[in-house]
Amino acid sequence: MRVTTGRATQLDSRMFTVVVEAFGLGTQRRAERRLSVAFAQLQSTMQAVAQRGGRITAVYAAGAELPPAPATAPAIAPANSPAETSTVPPKPAAVSHANVPVNLYKPKDPFLGTVTENYSLLAEGAIGRVNHITFDLSGGDPQLHYLEGQSIGIIPDGEDANGKPNKLRLYSIASTRHGDNMAGHTVSLCVRQLQYEKDGETVNGVCSTFLCDIEPGSKVKITGPVGKEMLLPDDEEANVIMFATGTGIAPMRTYLRRMFESTEREKNGWKFRGKAWLFMGSPTTANLLYDDDFNQYVEEYPDNFRYTKAISREQQNTSGGRMYIQDRVSENADEIFALIEDPKTHAYMCGLRGMEPGIDEAMTTAAAAKGLNWAELRPALKKADRWHVETY
């Protein structure tokens, strides 16, 4: 059905009711919906409905007598623009939260893990200090096991300024459920030493320094695991978009090892066939974490994995400023949204909380260019278990 707009202008104040079917999420998609649309937005709204698989069954001018809505139709708030009527594709099979291990060990009764290795992840000339640390979890009752996307707590030795035992800090796990050695009884972390200036002096983070300094053979109090927000879908054909900065790469490493590491693929029986796309933000090339592994995955699985870097102190954006992860999002907006329109696509964000506003701004601009409202689309994706964020 086509509605001719003739020589209408933005000043035309007429309103229309568009009756659609198979448009929306869940039960809404199965029900008839009625959208109130301004004349100037009518044509673009109809195009948006068609692009998202909806069917337009009728268009009525305001004031016309409408047939009664089906009793099962949900109430729909008036919409004045295609952005307000847009939505995401139907919700895919939910990420399975069944049998997810949580709080097997608590702060009052932690597990004592043994450090098996502790080495730097940075190349020469890098800024700061970031280490990869692995703990042996053998001998626990129950066995401390976990899934990709979860976190564990570390209780550092010593006491705080008030003479009380140090409190735990949570760290995203950087190894798959099988561990780096595939034996199923280790866990690895990616830890940046926190340092900041106070009253002219450098202050070192308590737990991060404890971990970066710890020697193999040492015992460490471990709690958890915790978290269900960052779990991967079980679908081997899912698409996964990842946004990470710094040690926010930890959960992304677990996903990518599970997808593409040859020994892991043999072990887990989960043969990923979808598309994975990592956007990684770093101040310098020397600060890129697990870069060699990711480059290898690109070589081995060019049809399934894409790796886009934003190196702020070495690359420039189109305006001549520093290249940040949000600039890469803007550059690739059309392809990102083409993936997001697929109900099998999940997006994951991890890193410093300061990365969120920049990515939100980039997604808002990109969405607007497609006639979409990111402020509405993002919570819809979240509700559909397709937008996963863990920032700190």
Helices (H), 201-323: 206-213, 249-260, 262-268, 291-300
Task: Say whether 350 is catalytic.
Answer: yes
Q: Kindly report the number of other CB atoms within 10 A of residue 243's CB atom.
A: 28
Q: DSSP string covering 56-67, please?
A: EEEEEETTSPPP
Q: Kindly report the number of other CB atoms within 10 A of residue 168's CB atom.
A: 19
Task: Say whether 390 is catalytic.
Answer: yes
Query: Do residues 246 and 352 touch, judged by C-beta distance below 8 A?
Result: yes
Task: Say whether 266 is catalytic.
Answer: no
196-to-158, 199, 204, 354 alpha-carbon distances in Å? 21, 10, 7, 16
Task: Say whether 172 is catalytic.
Answer: yes
Catalytic pick from 84, 148, 261, 390?
390
Q: DSSP string covering 71-88, please?
A: TTPPP-----SHHHH---
Verify cis geometry, omega within 30 degrees of 0, for the bond prior to 225: yes
Residues 6+ away with beta carbon under 8 Å from 205: 193, 194, 195
DSSP secondary structure code for residue 269 in this structure: -
d(CA 188, CA 152): 10
Give the rounded distance of the alpha carbon of 99 from its chain centre. 22
Catalytic pick from 84, 86, 148, 172?
172
Six-digit token string for 344? 């099998």
Catalytic pick from 138, 159, 266, 392?
392
Residues 6+ away with beta carbon under 8 Å from 352: 245, 246, 248, 391, 392
Task: Say whether 307 is catalytic.
Answer: no
Catalytic pick from 146, 171, 255, 348?
171
Catalytic pick from 190, 207, 212, 350?
350
Catalytic residues: 171-172, 350, 390, 392
